[in-house]
Amino acid sequence: MKKKILTLVLAVTAVLMLAGCGKAQKTAGGNAEETAQTKESALEETAAAETECDHEWVEATYAAPKTCKLCGETEGEPKQSYFDEHGVSVPDGPVDCTMDYIYYNEDDPETYCKVGDAVITQTDCYAEPTDEEGYQNVHLTLTIAFQPGYYYDAAEDIPYLATLSGGLGVYDWYTGRMLPSREMWDDDAQEYAVTLDIDGVSYEVSYSQEVSWEQGEWVYDEAGNSTSSATCTSEYIFRIPEGYDGLVYCAAPEREYTGLDTETVSGLDEAVYADLDPTDEETEEDKKLVEDRRYFRLNRTEIPVREAEAGTEDAA
């Protein structure tokens, strides 16, 4: 009898255990199904929220298109730079080109004026740290070789000398604004500063430029005419924020004498922009001058970094 009772108890216990196990399995399966449904519902709600997003747009910048700061949706393309808008090619440096220049008689430049070639070559470009956090100096050295730089016409007894009449300059890649400058002749120097506003950020940019000239030996021909080369070395030091990469060098041809103004500073009190779009009122010769200008991006790509030399920290 006791044996039968024990057997019955064991049987009941086994049934209860199986029933409990089945119930646990059913509950677990139900939780998994509910979790999947919850996830699906959440995804649907997120998609609906994105579809119905009351966008808060951030205007396009040079780095990114118009973007909603709530959902990340974008519209259109990033802003174009001033040069891109005008379809003007601006390759990265180094600078290397040949430009027309004039050499003329100082006593009568309107009558006695000739066109020659000036070879412009970038001989050095590097960056150096400064004592001001967040800023660096970018050094640029260019040589402009005139041939001839000086010319003597023996038959006419007329001496000529070369000039570019200030046909060079530095601009901002993003806005097209020219850094302040004035025309220079003989050994000379200038130093200016300007604030550039780019995508709501103000960049304080300053620079110095020093120009020096060197004359070559005179060479004579059988008729008694003589020529001499002239080389102009132009050294820039730009003091710029480390995040600014918009320096653009411009080489502009000159084919007629326009005078030399060493007093007027352009682009200091009033912004001056690169002339990239000739008007219908301009002559064909003026349009050709605009088309023949060459621009080079100086510091978009990585340039060598050197330690500051003595006396250069406060040069710009």
Q: Which two tokens stand for residue 295?
A: 């621009």
In this prediction, residue 302 carries a pLDDT of 87
In this prediction, residue 28 carries a pLDDT of 40
Cβ-based neighbours of 290, under 8 Å, separated by 6 or more:
275, 276, 278, 282
In this prediction, residue 38 carries a pLDDT of 60
Q: Structure pTM?
A: 0.78
Q: Which of the pair, 36 or 185, is modelled with greater confidence?
A: 185
Report which of 221, 229, 230 is spatially closest to residue 154, judged by C-alpha positions: 221
In this prediction, residue 289 carries a pLDDT of 86
- The answer, yes or no, to whether residue 9 has pLDDT greater than 60, is no
Q: By mean pLDDT, which of 22-36, 67-81, 200-214 is the weakest?
A: 22-36
In this prediction, residue 256 carries a pLDDT of 86
In this prediction, residue 155 carries a pLDDT of 95
pLDDT band at 23 (very low <50, low <70, confident <90, very high): very low
- The answer, yes or no, to whether residue 46 has pLDDT greater than 80, is no
pLDDT band at 307 (very low <50, low <70, confident <90, very high): confident
Q: How far apart are CA 149 and CA 227, in angstroms?
A: 7
Which spans in the chain are helix H?
Answer: 2-51, 82-85, 284-291
Asked if 248 and 276 touch (Cβ cutoff 8 Å), the reply is no
- The answer, yes or no, to whether residue 8 has pLDDT greater than 80, is no
In this prediction, residue 163 carries a pLDDT of 82
Q: How far apart are CA 191 and CA 95, in angstroms?
A: 22
- The answer, yes or no, to whether residue 312 has pLDDT greater than 70, is no
What digits encode the pLDDT tens for the residues 53-85?
A: 889 999 999 989 999 989 999 999 999 999 999
What digits encode the pLDDT tens for the residues 225-238?
A: 999 999 999 999 99
Asked if 69 and 58 touch (Cβ cutoff 8 Å), the reply is yes
What digits encode the pLDDT tens for the residues 278-297?
A: 776 678 888 888 889 999 99
**What mean pLDDT is predicted for residues 170-174?**
96
Largest CA-CA distance found in the chain, in angstroms, rounded: 150
Q: How far apart are CA 10 and CA 16, in angstroms?
A: 10
- The answer, yes or no, to whether residue 48 has pLDDT greater than 60, is no
DSSP for residue 174: T
Q: What strand order describes the sheet that includes 247-251?
A: 168-172, 247-251, 294-297
Asked if 68 and 259 touch (Cβ cutoff 8 Å), the reply is no
Q: How far apart are CA 248 and CA 236, in angstroms?
A: 13
Q: How far apart are CA 136 and CA 207, in angstroms?
A: 11
What digits encode the pLDDT tens for the residues 138-166?
A: 999 999 999 899 999 999 999 999 987 65
What digits encode the pLDDT tens for the residues 243-266?
A: 899 999 999 999 888 888 889 999
What digits encode the pLDDT tens for the residues 87-139?
A: 999 999 999 999 999 999 999 998 999 999 999 999 999 999 999 999 999 99
DSSP for residue 63: S
